[in-house]
Amino acid sequence: MALLAEGADALDVQGCKIFEVVRICGDDGSLEAVQLVFSDDRSLTLTVWTDWSLTVELRSDIAVPEYLWLPEERVRIVIPELSDLSFEVGEVVPRHNDAAELFEVRFVLGGRQLLVGSTGGNLIIEIE
């Protein structure tokens, strides 16, 4: 695995073609991360960090990140309504809190909107 970019730099994915969007869940079904998988086998992984901020990594693979311990016990669940080879990332809008920490990102994917955010230390997603 190669980390290509993190934080705001990792959000430079406008125009990338989407292969699939997945929820990464624990064995109890709890949402731990959201991963956008691109047609070139790169992925953008978003999760809540220990300080409750939203962390973002652009990776050269589609593996479950090692910091989601134990990665082999995590389940990747495809979000069917956002997994379409014709989708591309049209817009990426990050939002920061008063402490300048990233807490939310809104993606426009093929006319659909995906919101990924951190609320009270929990990862949330909304699809419109």
The model's pLDDT over 46-58, given as tens digits with 9 standing for 90+, comes to: 999 888 889 999 9
The model's pLDDT over 48-97, given as tens digits with 9 standing for 90+, comes to: 988 888 999 999 998 888 778 787 888 899 998 887 667 899 999 999 99
First-to-last C-alpha distance (Å) of the chain: 32
* Distance of alpha carbon 32 from alpha carbon 93, whole angstroms: 21
**Whole-model pTM over 0.85:** yes
* Distance of alpha carbon 23 from alpha carbon 64, whole angstroms: 10
